[in-house]
Amino acid sequence: MNQWLQTIRALILTVTLVGGCTPTNDSASSKPGHHVEGGFRNLPGSPVYAGTWRDTVSAYTDRIAEGIRGYEPTLASEYILGSEAVRQSLAYVKGTDALTWLGHATFLINLDGKMILTDPFLTDYATGTPPFGPKRATPPALTVGELPAIDIVIVSHNHYDHLDVTTIDTLPGKKSIHVVVPLGIGPLFIERGYTQVTELDWYDTTDIDGIAITATPAIHNSGRSLFDQNETLWAGYLLSSKKQKVFFCGDSAYGPVYPELARKMGPVDYAVVPIGVYEPRQRMKSHHMNPSEAVKVGQDLQARILIAMHWGTIRLSDEPFEEPPRQFRQAAGEQGWGEETAWILKVGESRRLTQ
């Protein structure tokens, strides 16, 4: 009986993880349009959830059934660097503006000598009750103990596959790391010993040693259980140094926020965009973009280079595990981005960010 209770709890957490609940539409007229009583919502004009509660539950029970059958997705070796190659790749970009994909939405981004860690998730399970819940299929390129010294942590939202408590619990240097999070997430870091924590609303900016970090709108949701849905904000980020601008999309559906963001913040040099966890579209289109929509974000922002993320790490949706990069390559090519300007990194691969 206890295992069944654990499984049910894992199901609840997994439903939360990829947004099975629709954000509330209650309004709070004295606040910005995305603020509502007790939390936040997506802006008007955003895609809305088209499935039923039964659709949502069946999707996650399918994942559980796969686990019971022993099905484990695997990422082809051509997409993964070995440990020695990871070290060589890091050594190649050392001391330069660069980016390293650790898996899923977790990157090391070096700008102006500051090491930025995005959406920290470096453990085996995207759940609060391991070993129950979504299990990582592809190991992270680096463990917490192998990371270089981190100066800044940015978090897009509080889902388990983007904010892993074990990772941030074990990250060294808590008192010197600057943490930047959307509204409402700060206490999770403060109670774990971080002392430099900044919460941002959409279009708020903080400056850390010459790097401007602006929270940008996204179309998604938040929550770590069924009982805290949308109480904290979700966001993307624009990272601006003296040399270049890097857009980190976080988790999002595609919608009118991106043309609006382009009008307000201008072209970017690099756009890091999510390309996975998009099927079935009826359920996923309200909170996850597909590869062609990820390319459209790059078009809206007039990005010089697109960088794919959020695929090949953990099975949270129905599309084949290696379909996202194939579709991304095709969609990008149709819009004029070739292999040199639409990057599909290997897990552990580093590349320099040039002007």
Which ranges in the chain belong to alpha helices (H)?
2-17, 53-69, 83-93, 165-170, 186-190, 257-265, 281-284, 291-300, 323-334
Confidence of residue 108 (pLDDT cuts 50, 70, 90): very high
Per-residue pLDDT at 134 exceeds 80: yes
pLDDT of residue 130: 86
The verdict on residue 111 lying in a domain is yes
Range of the domain at 133: 77-352
State what percent of residues in the chain have pLDDT above 90: 80
pLDDT tens digits for 286-315? 999 999 999 999 999 999 999 999 999 999
Neighbours of 52 (CB within 10 A): 11
Element housing 306 (H / E): strand 305-309
What is the amino acid identity at position 100? T
**Is 7 within a domain?**
no
Residue 157 domain-assigned? yes
What does the alpha-carbon distance between residue 303 and residue 272 come to, in Å, rounded to a whole number?
Answer: 10
Confidence band for 8, pLDDT divided at 50, 70 and 90 = very low
CATH code of residue 165: 3.60.15.10
**Within a domain: 57:** no
Asked if residue 245 belongs to a domain, the reply is yes
Total residues belonging to the chain: 355
Give the chain's domain count.
1
What tens digit of pLDDT does each residue of 157-168 get? 999 999 999 999
pTM > 0.85: yes
